[in-house]
A and B are shown apart, each in its own frame.
Chain A
Amino acid sequence: AQTVTQSQPEMSVQEAETVTLSCTYDTSESDYYLFWYKQPPSRQMILVIRQEAYKQQNATENRFSVNFQKAAKSFSLKISDSQLGDAAMYFCAYRSAYPENRDDKIIFGKGTRLHILP
């Protein structure tokens, strides 16, 4: 079974600084997707960034980028120029890429609460 581990329950960063959230996962599959979801106080789960395992290039979305290390099964999220609106709970997640297995549920880590200090 796949697992996702986020070892940092909470982190803080000064506004405008850069912060990196860690995530490791375990799987025996070769093709899969990895995600970072953001959950602000409104509770809405927002997809921040997605990485396809077959792509070597790290995904980027504006101030958000990932460091995907497939061999190490590591998937960290870097937030540059942190803004107050980035304060939220961040969840790392895994999803199989084999629809024929019909196992396409998303597996989440426990989350990292990110505080932005003004």
Chain B
Amino acid sequence: EAGVTQFPSHSVIEKGQTVTLRCDPISGHDNLYWYRRVMGKEIKFLLHFVKESKQDESGMPNNRFLAERTGGTYSTLKVQPAELEDSGVYFCASSQAPVGVGILMNTEAFFGQGTRLTVV
């Protein structure tokens, strides 16, 4: 079974340019998450999709970041225009839908290998 895949693995762009990151979750996983790790800091949650809907986007830093998940399959995360502080590793993760209500849900989230974004 294919895991979560992210593209590109590494991107170097100039400040002010646009970059689009892509994540292909595991087939059948309704939940898709974006996380970011800035050098030396903790991994921060960005947003959560359930199918094509944004369940929680409380972690998105500002309106320069736009995430989409058309058709509930792959997701893109666009940064426009990129700033120096956007540099970091962007992780995508997916998991199956929760099973039932009040039942402890399936918890394992599978991560991609990340995209290292460097803004110069």
Complex Cα spacing A95 to B45, Å: 12
| Chain A residues close to B by CB (< 8 Å) | 4, 31, 33, 35, 37, 42-47, 50, 52, 54, 91, 95, 97, 99-100, 102-111
Number of interface residues of B (CB under 8 A): 33
Interface membership of B114, Cβ < 8 A: yes
Shortest CB-to-CB span from A5 to chain B, Å, is 9
Complex Cα spacing A62 to B105, Å: 25
Instruction: Provide the main secondary structure of the chain B interface.
Output: loop
Report yes or no: A97 in contact with B42, Cβ–Cβ below 8 A. no
Decide yes or no: A108 and B101 within 8 Å by CB, A45-B91, A47-B108 being known contacts: no
Report yes or no: B105 in contact with A97, Cβ–Cβ below 8 A. yes
Report yes or no: B105 in contact with A99, Cβ–Cβ below 8 A. yes
- Chain A residues, Cβ within 8 Å of B35: 106, 108
Report yes or no: B42 in contact with A109, Cβ–Cβ below 8 A. yes
Interface membership of B93, Cβ < 8 A: yes
Shortest CB-to-CB span from B111 to chain A, Å, is 3
Q: For A104, give its contact among B44, B48, B112 (CB under 8 Å).
A: B48
Complex Cα spacing A42 to B91, Å: 13
Report yes or no: B102 in contact with A100, Cβ–Cβ below 8 A. yes
